[in-house]
Structure formats: C-alpha cells, structure tokens
Structure 1
Amino acid sequence: MLSHVTIGANDFERSFRFYSTLFEALGHRQRFLDPGKLAGWQHQDGGRPFLFLTTPFDGQPASVGNGQMIALLADDRATVDRAHAAALANGGNCEGPPGLRPHYHPNYYGAYFRDPEGNKLCICCHGAE
C-alpha cells in the first residue's frame, strides 16, 4: 500500500543518529544517504516501502503534524522492546511503553514514542508470542 514515508528534520545529524539506531534495532538497512540532507532505509529483504529522513526541500522549518503517526512493523515482541529502548536511548520520548493492546486485537503488541523532532512513531507486532 505504501511506497514511502518522508519525515522532516531540522537537526539532520541528531535525527539521523536516532533513525539509524532505530532501524538497526528493527533489522532494516540504510539504502540512501546524502549527508546532512537525505537518508533512506528499507526492509532488510529490500523493496518498498522506504522511510526517508530529509531537511525540507522548500528550506522552511520542519514541523510535526498533530494526529499523525507512523507505525513501523516489527517481526516479534522482543524487537518491539529493543526498538523502543533504542529510540529512548537516542533522544526519543515515550508515548506508551511496550505492551499488549488487546482493544486493537488480542495479539497487538506495540510501543509509542516521539523522535527528537517531535514526530510520533509506533513499533508494533501483530503475531502471537
């Protein structure tokens, strides 16, 4: 369904460190890098979707959207835990610790946080333990 998601950054280096560590914890690989300007990651097996980090092309400050969130898929619950810990250790702010959320469905296991720029993200797994 998705081709790619793009996240704007005002402090590219800080955000790049954050996302590099997060995607390493998820087992994804970096695919693109234009230092200080653009980076892109994709699933370890390749293909789409991509997630891009960039300074805004129009030169204006990046800003977060209220009510917007990007949910990243993890292979299992341990990966959710690892990615959430990596996010918090690299400047992220917790918006909901890892855990089951049975009001979504019985096996939904997710964690929520904001990146250093304030963008809200989720890491989730839909499989049984």
Structure 2
Amino acid sequence: MFSHIFVGITDFDRALSFYDALFEILGVESRFCERDRPWAGWQSAGQQRPYFAISRPHNGQPHEPGNGQMVAFMANTREAVRQAHARALKNGGTCEGPPGLRPEYHAHYYGA
C-alpha cells in the first residue's frame, strides 16, 4: 500500500542522529544518505518498499505543519498514477506537480 513516508525536518544532523540510533535498535537499514541535499532514508532489511525518509522541505521553505510531509501510495503503472492524480484533483486535492518522472528521487520514479 505505501511506497514511502517522507517527514520534513529543520535540523538534518540532529534528525539523522535520532533516526540512525532508533533504527539500529529496530533493525531498519539505511537506504541512502545525501548530506549535501540533505536527505536520508531507511528501509526494512532486504526490502525496497515501503521506506521512511527525512529532509528539509523540497520547496526550500521552512518545515511547518503541512510543508515537508509526504505519504506516497504505490501504483502499479504510470497510467494508474495519472488516473489517481486526476481523481484526487476532482475530489478536492491540490496539484504540486503534474504526473511525470521525478529524476531527483531516482531515474525511473514516476509520480504526481
């Protein structure tokens, strides 16, 4: 059901230290850590999804309630992403980017 959960943070080093220590106890492994971006993610051992990620908000604005959080649902096809995006807009959602590739996440990430 879930692809990933993204939590906005204000102090990357503090958050990284917190989650690294917590996930070591829980047996959750590091997936990536890019200090220059800054963002980091973790996943259950041997699994690609779902994963948990932290970063400053992508839009560069300060983290605050409603900015910097993301819960992403899995879709089996790009067409399903397009349809889900259209349905979400029809039912009161807002668009933060049309369906398309998001190479800043990875080469084949397709989302909306």
RMSD: 2.0
TM-score by length of 2: 0.55
Q: Which residue is 2:28 aligned to? A: 28
Runs of 4+ displaced beyond 2 Å: none
Q: Which structure: greater strand fraction?
A: 1
Residues of 2 paired with 1:54 and 1:63: CA distance?
12
Aligned-pair identity (%): 42
TM-score by length of 1: 0.48
Q: Aligned letter for 2:16?
A: F
Give the Å deviation of 1:39. 0.1
What count of residue pairs does the alignment treat as equivalent?
Answer: 67
Give the Å deviation of 1:43. 0.2
Residues of 2 paired with 1:32 and 1:47: CA distance?
12
Q: Given the alignment of the two structures, is residue 51 of structure 1 paired with residue 57 of structure 2, yes or no?
A: no
Give the Å deviation of 1:63. 1.7
Residues of 1 paired with 2:41 and 2:26: CA distance?
14
Q: Given the alignment of the two structures, is residue 60 of structure 1 paired with residue 61 of structure 2, yes or no?
A: yes
Q: Deviations over 1:53-89 (max 9, x none)?
A: 0111111111246xx9x9xxxxxxxxxxxxxxxxxxx
Q: Aligned letter for 2:23?
A: F
Gaps of 5+ in 1: 71-129
Q: Aligned letter for 1:24?
A: E
Matched residue SS, 1:18: helix
Q: Which residue is 2:4 aligned to? A: 4
